[in-house]
Every structure is written in C-alpha cells, then in structure tokens.
Amino acid sequence: MCRVKPRIGLATAIFAALAIAGSIVSIEGHAARAKPRPNVIVIETDDQTLEEMRVMRNTLALIGQQGTTFDNNFVTLSLCCPSRSTFLTGQYAHNHGVLTNSMPNGGFDKLDHSNTLAVWLQKAGYNTALVGKYLNGYKLADGIPPGWTEWHAGVNLGYFNWTMNEQGLLVHYGSRPQDYQTSVLSQKAVEVIDRRVPESKPLFMWVTYHAPHGGGPAEPDDPKGIGTVNTGPYRDHFSSEALPNMPSLNEADVSDKPAGIRNRPVLTAQKIAAIREAYQQQIESLLSVDDGVKVIVDALRAKGELDNTLLVFTDDNGFFHGQHRVPSGKVLLYEPSIRVPLLMRGPGVPKNRHLKQMTANIDLAPTIVDAANAKAGRVMDGKSLLPLLARPSTQWGRDLLIERGPAGAKRAGTATGEIGNGDDGNQGKTAAPGDQRFAGLRTPRFLYAEYGNGEKELYDLARDPDELNNLAGNSS
C-alpha cells in the first residue's frame, strides 16, 4: 500500500490558533474547549444540478455567504457509485476501479474499503460517522465497512417505507410524516453532532442525502416513463415552476453529435411536460435538504463548534432535464451532467467569496486529509483546496479528465428507460444506440472527448457554453 506523506505547513498554520492545549475559547457565545484540528462535515446530495442551488436559501446563506463557492466544480465520472468512491479515495474512477454502480465493473464490492478516507481519518484520531446513502449495492450482510465509528446507512432508499442499518441493527421507517427519509437523516446527523462533538476527538461526518434522486412511493398523478421524486412535506411547492430556459433543451439540430444523441427523437410536448414535473419534484425535495443544512448548522452552533468545523456542501453528479434531447439521467460528458455545486465554510475559508478555478470531486479527499493532518493510503489524483483558499489568485495549471467506463450489470427491478435514469447508468430499452464509454478532457475553455467507437466531440465553451456545435473534424 502506497502512503502519501501528510501535508504539514498550511493546514497547521490555518488551525494553529485553535490548537492551544487546554485553552478555553468563546465560540458563538458558548464556552468550548478548542480541538487541535477541525471537525469536518460533508453534506452531499444525489442527482442535483448546479442550477437547482437557487432554491436552497439556507445553504446559500449559511455556507455560501459564510464561506467560499467554487463556481467551476465538476465530477470526473458522472454516476453515483464511481463519484462517491472518488470522494472516498481522491482518485479518478479508472484508478480506484469503480466504473459503474454494479458488478462486475463497479458497485460496493468493487472498492477496497480498507483503504478509504474514513480509515485514514480514524487512524488520525477522528471519530467518523456515515449518515445516509453509502455505495450502490451495499446491503446489511456487508456489515459496517472499516473506518467508521458510527454507521447509519440506508439499506433501501425509498422516501417512505425504507430501512436503515443503524450500527448493525436493522431499523424500518414507515409512512408517517416523521418517517420521510430526508428528515430522518437530518435528525440522525444532529444526534451524531450532539453526541460526538463534545468529545476530545474531532468529528468527521459524511451526510449523504438521497434527494433529489428519484424515489417513491409515487403519487397517483405522477407522469409515467420518467423518474419521479416523493417530495414529502413540500409536495406541489413548485408546481408552477418552468424548466430552466437553456438553448440545449430539446436541441433542434443534433446532426453533429455522436450516435447516442444523433439517433434520439425530438422530445414531444407530452414528454417535456413530464420532464418539467419531475424537475419540479426534484427542487421540492431539495427544500427538505435545505432544512437539514440549517439544523446541522444550528446544532454545531449550539455546541460551540461551528467556527471549528470545516463544512462542505456538494453533490455526486448532475442530471439532464431535456438538454440535447436527453429526458433524464447522467453519465454523459455535457455540462448539466458533470458540473455540480461545491460550497465550503470553516476555519481559514474566506467569507462570501467565489472562485473561478476548476475544481473537482477528486479534490475533496486531499482537502480533508490536509485539514485533518492525516495520512492518505493512496496516491490521490486531486489537490488540496486549502492553498487555493489561502491564495485565491493561484492558477492550478491543470485540466480534468472526464470519463465513462463500461456499463454495470442490469439489476432486477431497476427502472432506467433513459441514460442513467436508474442506479446502474445503463441504457434502458428506450435509450438510443451508441451511448458508450469515453475519455474526455475538460479545460477552462474546451471540452474534448473520444468514444470507444472512434467518434469525437470538441466544444469551445467560451463561444458555445451550451455545447451545441461539435467542432471535432471541423478545421474552420
């Protein structure tokens, strides 16, 4: 196992003021004993687009305005399990080996759980907690993976009538309003904070909401043929909301696109209406997540630990709502699929700042390892964001790999129907032929990709941010 030496210097300097042994400091009006290293809480959603951040007023105010927003943040493989495995390793998917959501090329069983961020932080003296969704394919028989002090993981993830593995005990939640999954996860996160942050060890907690990912139980009037979301307390809150007005919506001319897009039919008015309703449900479900962000922040404040907590909000992959004729899903290389939110507040994080440098999910584990002064057990592909926070004018001097591996095995009961609409990211029976693995390069200005069948795409994002004109093979 290759070990990377811990970064010592910047992280130590940022948090040195909090490391005075035995000192008592006043935080948010409460007396609290300073820990030598910060708590780290990462809040992650599933299938959220950057555009949908606009409805999350608590998150924007409590994390964005009180910290830094990374305006150009990406996922390097836009699918749940590969992206979450990247978070746990700091590696591109082709390096950690989880290329899709199910075996033989991905899923829970494909990742080496003995060598993850949780293991590294626990060895560094952190209490560690998982609350919510872990990796696709996780089941009760898998037990609690190494590195986790507390384990509150969803075994199945409907919004009502769902089951959680709570420290090895299977607990079922029913159909009462208080059983709504997002609300339960927020409550569990607060309980972990109340129990763990008074301890001498710092806390690392990964709160992984299933929202706004599709999930039931379905409502009788839900549209057919597209994934919908049970929105619980916020049902019909955005029932009059329009789809985002993007030039790529139901793209008129796709003759220059690869076969997977070129062979797609124009979306009908009925299909667009269904996409719109699914979109409305997604943003309605995010309001419960937004409530959760507030109660987590309030709990940290009540314990006097808010100022000593690195708080991160992000998402595992983007999502399509009709752009390029793709009704729903992810895994493709276009901006709605790969661009996701990243907001951060805490010690050493400038307030109310926006940074334009390209960042990605490969950077989260290196940042947390740096802040915790821990030792990574892998050679990570990402970079710590702490130097960028300290020196915002820094230019990274790097581009990002965007990739898609082979599809996973189709699981019984998985509703796909569109690219990535189910958890496997497979093509359903209505998906157009030609969608396949690719390797792409995302630079600050260009996106270039080559497909397994030889097709290519090239976009000048400065002139064509909606990726309408494929320049590959065009010498003009």
Q: Name the DSSP letter for residue 293.
A: H
Token pair for 383: 């970079």
Strand runs labelled E in 395-464: 400-404, 438-442, 446-451, 456-460
Check: CB of residue 465 under 8 Å from CB of residue 472.
no
At 108, which amino acid appears?
F
Check: CB of residue 409 under 8 Å from CB of residue 103.
yes
At 21, which amino acid appears?
A
Q: Rounded to whole angstroms, how far apart are CA atoms 132 and 24?
A: 34
Preceding omega of 38 cis (within 30 degrees of 0):
no
Token pair for 9: 């210097």
Segment (H or E) for 276: helix 269-302
Q: Rounded to whole angstroms, how far apart are CA atoms 29 and 196?
A: 20
Pick from 398, 300, 287, 383: which is nearest to 345 by CA?
Answer: 300
Token pair for 149: 């002090």
Main-chain phi, psi angles of 318, to 5 degrees: -80, -160
Long-range pairs of 109-113 with CB within 8 A, sequence gap ≥ 24: 109/137, 110/85, 111/85, 111/135, 113/145, 113/146, 113/147
Check: CB of residue 321 under 8 Å from CB of residue 80.
no
Between the alpha carbon of residue 170 and those of residues 51, 166, 182, 329, the distances in Å are: 36, 6, 18, 31
Whether the CA torsion 295, 301, 303, 308 is positive or negative: it is positive
The radius of gyration of the chain's CA atoms, rounded to the nearest angstrom, is 21
Sorted by sequence, the CB contacts under 8 Å of residue 23 that are 6+ apart come out as: 33, 34
N-term to C-term CA, the chain? 49
Token pair for 264: 């797609």
Q: Rounded to whole angstroms, how far apart are CA atoms 79 and 423?
A: 8
Q: Rounded to whole angstroms, how far apart are CA atoms 13 and 221?
A: 56
Token pair for 180: 């709504």
Residues designated catalytic: 80
